[in-house]
């Protein structure tokens, strides 16, 4: 092996290390930006917790005969946890990237030392941090305020649902920007894409959804994330609580989001 080859290898290692450091700094920058924007932090982080308190309080000490007599909180809280994950990933990324495109940030990326993948990794990394914090607070509130306990036995099911769900809705949050005409329309487009599905998917509770709407909901990932989390919280669940069918659907939609997101970013980052 020649010295030239070794030098090129060391140079690539240094460049990769430098890019990883830039991506890590981008995560910190995005987190500071997120928490300084109080309105955005409220709707992405605190708003789901407000819904958690309202719906969990309304369903306290109730049981669901249609769900085998389980406590209503064990059915409602996992659905609201799913909603919080979606808000922190899908909605947050959709709005942020639309604003970055509108302000010209994506175009100016070509003139900076920050690689496009590092910029995107920073955005996604910040979103994952926010989602993880929201998950932790939601689980703590569910445990200490409403007595909804997660068994160690079903922890693999919970973690797998959260990891695959976070990846899925992060990818979809990037991909949906292909349908967003401008930054002002981003919140409306994101909410129109998600809010109806949360009702069809039973996120807010057991409302006796008509069979036709239930079939529609089964096509989309919202119901599958909520169901995978509910299985993990259900005291009747035996074993690790991993629902393979739900994870497969989430993974498929994640691939759809990746394909749409890659095409969108290639167009935006390379344009100009």
Q: pLDDT digit of tens for each residue in the chain (272 aa)? A: 455 554 555 556 666 676 778 888 888 988 998 888 888 888 888 888 888 888 888 777 777 666 666 777 778 888 889 999 999 999 999 998 898 888 887 777 767 777 777 788 888 899 999 999 999 998 898 888 888 877 889 999 999 999 999 999 999 999 999 899 998 999 999 999 999 999 888 888 776 778 888 898 999 999 999 999 999 988 888 889 999 999 999 999 999 999 998 888 777 766 65
Phi then psi for residue 70, to 5 deg, are -75, 160
Q: Are 95 and 103 in contact (CB under 8 A)?
A: no
Q: How many CA atoms lie within 13 A of 169 on its CB side?
A: 29
The three-class DSSP label of residue 103 is coil
Q: How many CA atoms lie within 13 A of 37 on its CB side?
A: 13
CA distances, 190 to each of 104, 135, 183, 184 (Å):
21, 21, 11, 11
Phi then psi for residue 47, to 5 deg, are -60, -45
158's CB contacts (< 8 A; 6+ apart) are: 150, 229, 232, 233, 241
Outline where the chain has alpha helix (H). 3-36, 38-41, 47-58, 72-86, 92-102, 105-108, 116-146, 155-175, 186-200, 211-219, 221-233, 244-269
Phi then psi for residue 243, to 5 deg, are -105, 100
Exposure class string for 195-227: b at 16+ Cβ within 10 A, else e: eebbebbbbbbeeebeeeeeebbeebbbbbbbb
How many other β-carbons are positioned within 10 Å of the β-carbon of residue 242? Answer: 18
Which string of DSSP letters, residue by residue, matches 176-193? GGGG--SGGGHHHHHHHH
Cα gap 104→34, rounded to integer Å: 19
Q: Are 197 and 114 in contact (CB under 8 A)?
A: no
pLDDT digits (tens, 9 = 90+) for 154-198: 999 999 999 999 999 999 999 999 899 998 999 999 999 999 999
């Amino acid at each position: 092996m020649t010295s030239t080859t070794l030098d090129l290898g060391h140079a690539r290692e240094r460049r990769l290390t430098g890019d990883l450091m830039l991506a890590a700094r981008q995560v910190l920058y995005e987190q500071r930006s997120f928490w300084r924007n109080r309105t955005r932090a409220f709707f992405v982080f605190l708003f789901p917790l407000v819904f958690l308190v309202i719906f969990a309080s309304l369903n306290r000490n109730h049981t669901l005969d249609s769900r085998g007599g389980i406590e209503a909180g064990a059915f409602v809280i996992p659905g609201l946890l799913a909603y919080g994950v979606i808000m922190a990933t899908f909605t947050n990324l959709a709005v942020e990237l639309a604003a970055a495109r509108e302000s010209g940030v994506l175009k100016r990326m070509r003139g900076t030392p920050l690689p496009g993948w590092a910029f995107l990794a920073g955005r996604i990394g910040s979103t994952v941090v926010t989602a993880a914090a929201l998950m932790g607070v939601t689980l703590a509130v569910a445990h200490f305020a409403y007595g909804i306990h997660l068994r160690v036995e079903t922890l693999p099911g919970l973690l797998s649902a959260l990891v695959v769900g976070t990846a899925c809705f992060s990818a979809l949050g990037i991909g949906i920007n292909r349908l967003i005409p401008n930054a002002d329309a981003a919140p409306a487009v994101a909410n129109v894409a998600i809010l109806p599905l949360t009702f069809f998917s039973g996120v807010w509770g057991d409302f006796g959804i008509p069979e036709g709407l239930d079939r529609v909901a089964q096509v989309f990932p919202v119901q599958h994330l909520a169901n995978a989390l509910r299985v993990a919280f259900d005291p009747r669940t035996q074993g690790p609580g991993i629902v393979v069918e739900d994870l497969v659907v989430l993974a498929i939609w994640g691939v759809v989001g990746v394909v749409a997101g890659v095409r969108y970013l290639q167009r935006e980052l390379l344009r100009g």
